Structure 1
Amino acid sequence: MTDAGVAPQRTNRRGDASRENMLEAALKALATGDPGAVSANRIAKQIGATWGVVQYQFGDADGLWAAVLHRTAEHRADVFEQTDASAPLRQRVADIIDTLYDGLTATDSKAIENLRAALPRDPSELERLYPRTAAELQSWGRGWLATCQNAFAGLRVDPARVREVATFIPGAMRGITSERQIGSYFDLDMARRGLTNAIVAYLEASDSDG
């Protein structure tokens, strides 16, 4: 029951559809790897929208990029959720490595790599120019750390070493993924096994050190 004189709020389905279309167009454009795709104006034109529509939906380019990052985070939300609590350390590490190996070539990942490459490298500059985007990236970092902590829950491993592993795994996997995309003389299955073995040995050492 609504207050007298106050009209009930209705979902603006057309506006929601426009927002969804723009986010999907942004992901597809960014995933091409074209640096010029990192343009809110260009993305708007691709779906026949105006800059005014971008402002209405997202506020500005910062709002659009933050929304794109949030959308990809939603897509990945359940990827690592089903960790087998009875699985040994090696299996848990291998599952993370294999999931990233497959996921980093997906459209969302390519889009985010292109977007990040176009953003300021200096964190303070990024926060000044794109505060909402910077906040979303920081949220990603916290979420990834939580994912790794959950993945190794129940095992006797040093939390500090889990944080270190969480920090370097994404970069290491981007390197292996890059080799996969450009072609490599190395056996990338061996590379993944080697990385898995190194992480397992480091985390197992934290148990013996304790």
Structure 2
Amino acid sequence: MTGTAPSSSRRTNRRGAATRESMLEAALSSLASGDPGSVSANRIAKDIGVTWGAVKYQFGDIDGLWAAVLHRTAERRGELPVGLAPGGSLRERVAATVDTLYHGLTGTDSRAIETLRAALPRDPAELERLYPQTAAELVSWRAGWNAACQKAFADLDVDPERVREVASFLPGAMRGIVSEKQLGTYADLDEARRGFTAAIVAYLEHSR
């Protein structure tokens, strides 16, 4: 009998992990719909197809669920591809970063994140008080993004402070361009991305 217990435990653990995975994917799909009501705990449980008690069993509370959802998107996003291609020119790396953000911000995970962030408190202190795990995950994103950008340009003799500044404004600026695409525009967004890339390159080159 003692020999069968570990196997039974492993099966239980695998079922629990599979349940958790399916809940995360269902939550992401619900949030990606853009419906503001999708951030409701009861609505999420309904969309997942389980009781709220089952969700709490896996994640503790709504804060634990949101933190897990954000962590999942971060895992899938990974590092900047430019950080994996040493030897590229400054322009090539900036262009790759801009293109990565442009395409990434139109994806399902990005839509889910925007829906969730729109429902969270804007004040950082309030966010940390009400949703400490979610706030910690978002803070880790900022640190990870800055580190990835520094790594991507580390061998190009550019000012790390300017890289940090670019890292700070780049996601928001690209979100604006993506918003133009989604809303419909007469502007040439390929031209916009080229001009934006050239401006960043010029700013970083000037720091050499």
The TM-score bracket by the shorter chain reads over 0.9
> Which piece of structure 1 moves more, 179-188 or 14-23?
14-23
The number of residue pairs the alignment matches comes to 202
Aligned to 1:47: 48
Greater percentage in helix: 2
Aligned to 1:117: 118
Say if 1:158 and 1:78 are closer, same or farther in 2 by CA, change over 3 A: closer
Contact 2:41–2:62 (CA under 8 A) maintained in structure 1 = yes
Alignment of 1:1-210 (within 5 A): 8=6, 10=10, 11-80=12-81, 83-207=84-208
What is the TM-score of this pair, normalised by structure 2? 0.93
Look up the equivalent residue of 2:159 and give its one-letter code: D
1:81 Cα deviation (Å)?
Answer: 6.1
Q: Distance in 2 between matches of 1:189 and 1:179?
A: 12
Percent identity over paired residues:
71
1:13 Cα deviation (Å)?
Answer: 2.3
Q: Distance in 1 between matches of 2:170 and 2:161?
A: 14
Q: Unaligned regions of 5+ residues in structure 2, if any? A: none
Q: Residue 85 of structure 1: SS of its match in structure 2?
A: coil
* CA deviation map 1:119-164 (0-9, x unaligned): 0000000000000000000011111001111110201100100000
1:47 Cα deviation (Å)?
Answer: 2.7
Look up the equivalent residue of 1:97 and give its one-letter code: V
Q: Distance in 2 between matches of 1:63 and 1:74?
A: 16
Q: Distance in 2 between matches of 1:52 and 1:58?
A: 10
Q: Distance in 2 between matches of 1:96 and 1:201?
A: 15
Q: Distance in 1 between matches of 2:91 and 2:134?
A: 35
1:17 Cα deviation (Å)?
Answer: 1.8
* CA deviation map 1:153-203 (0-9, x unaligned): 201100100000000000000000000001011110111011101100110
> RMSD value over aligned CA atoms?
1.5
What is the TM-score of this pair, normalised by structure 1? 0.92
Q: Distance in 2 between matches of 1:174 and 1:54?
A: 31
Q: Residue 143 of structure 1: SS of its match in structure 2?
A: helix
Q: Distance in 2 between matches of 1:182 and 1:76?
A: 25
> Which piece of structure 1 moves more, 115-124 or 41-50?
41-50
